[in-house]
Amino acid sequence: MKKTIILIVEDEIAIRDMLRFALEPADFIVHEAENTEQANRYIKQQIPDLILLDWMLPNQSGIDYMRQLKQKSDTQNIPVIVLTARAEEDNKLQGFAAGADDYITKPFSPRELIARIKSVLRRGLLASPDGSIKLAELQLNTYTHEVTVNNQALILTPLEYKLLLFFMKHPNKVYSRNQLLDYIWGNGNDILDRSIDVQIRRLRNRLKPYGYDKTIQTVRGGGYQWMVAKI
């Protein structure tokens, strides 16, 4: 079985060593970069299965670097877990809005890190090398931005597409209205949190003729989640 390749982008050598010592015994292949320039050189040679990315880097912030990765077709589907000492909710929302698949605050235990990596990788199996994410007959292509059901085109607005993409890439996890708003409109926009309810309702209506509207579950007091297990 092919081993999972993890790229650590972290400027502090002590933390890189700690991560390596934790991950290699768990059967991961670990590569290191101390800044985004080194990370880019590595990625040009080989696409990793997952990136552990420090928020605070010397030449460029991890958040800005992640935004760049998510804008390129050859790197946009690489799962990214952000590592940071910033535990405030606004920072977490900013990380998710930039495209993070998960967010771990320092300090953390090796067991927690490995569990979170495995969870993200399980979600990542939904995406194929050609950029498609599929759930039964519902398919979304991240390269062409096309959505089909039973091989027939499903026409969505840009906001509906972004919302569906986020849900399909992050199944079985509850996200608050604020998190979804920050992902769709970006952090700092003065948008009412109930605006996401309108987008959810519209997306459900688009999916309803095919029975996929039921995958979007409302969690009272929590937000929304995409329930793959209930299909």
Sheet of strand 152-153, all strands in order from the earlier edge strand to the far edge: 132-135, 138-141, 147-149, 152-153
| This model's pTM is above 0.75 | no
For all residues of the chain together, what is the average pLDDT?
84
Residues of the chain with pLDDT under 70: 1-2, 87-92, 123-131, 185-193, 229-231
In this prediction, residue 231 carries a pLDDT of 40
Cα 47 vs. chain centroid, distance in angstroms?
16
Please name each of the domains of the chain with its CATH number: 5-124 (3.40.50.2300), 132-230 (1.10.10.10)
Which value, to the nearest 10 degrees, does the dihedral of the CA atoms of residues 141, 144, 145, 151 take? Answer: -60
Residues 177 and 182: their CA atoms lie apart, in Å, by: 9
Q: Are strands 152-153 and 147-149 parallel, antiparallel or unpaired?
A: antiparallel
Q: For residue range 18-73, list pLDDT tens digits in order.
A: 999 999 999 899 999 999 999 999 999 888 989 999 988 988 888 899 988 888 87
131 burial (CB, 10 Å; 0-12 / 13-18 / 19+) is middle
In this prediction, residue 13 carries a pLDDT of 93
